[in-house]
Amino acid sequence: MTVKIYPRTNDFETIYLKHTITKPSIIVGDYTIYNDFVHDPCQFEKRNVLYHYPVNQDKLIIGKFCSIACGAKFIFTSANHSLHSLSTYPFPIFFEEWNLDSSQVADAWDNKGDIVIGNDVWIGYEAVILSGVHIGDGAIIGSRAVVTRDVPAYTIVGGIPAKEIKKRYDDAIIQELLKLQWWDWPYDKIKRALPHIQNGEIDRLIGIFDK
């Protein structure tokens, strides 16, 4: 894809997110967009990816062609407090005060791992994705949902905590879409197939464009 930040002329609220990322622990696919009408969308790393510290070596991985609405947040492991301790107080963080081993600072929380967002995922306004969550291709996350568990491909979820509302398609069509992986096609092929993608004509994609 062309290296540019703003997909539309004179629209400075919507960005191609990939081209604003500086941290190697955040990986974003081509054409994924982020819109922010409150703050500068180019501040996504700072404002939207929270408690993401190098000590954990966890990653935020976002696929291609995702749409991320204003205020969506990705909250990482360091926001947790350990449930294995008798106290929820994060003693290891304050190792100097308590004469603890500074190398054990990560014991203050339970490490839940990477956040992984598939391709063609729509994340609604002010939704919150918690550490360790994997969201499948084609899923939709409702506005202000709090996602605490994995979301299957092509599934719509919403609420606090987020629960399945419905599947976007039946299982057979979902499997066909996952096999097609149209988001990995070259630009010219996607452009030719775009009328069928937009019109939901999966039958026109199978056999014609899946080669």
Contacts of 100 (CB under 8 A, 6+ apart): 91, 92, 94
Angle (CA) 45-51-52 rounded to 5° is 60
Q: Would you call 134 a catalytic residue per the annotation? A: no
Q: Is 120 left (phi over 0), alpha (psi -120 to 50) or beta?
A: left
90 cis-preceded (ω within 30 degrees of 0): no
* Euclidean distance between CA atoms 120 and 134, whole angstroms: 14
Whether the CB-CB separation of 167 and 174 falls below 8 Å is answered with: yes
Catalytic residue, candidates 19, 39, 81, 196: 81
The amino acid present at 138, given as its one-letter code, is G
Catalytic residue ranges: 81
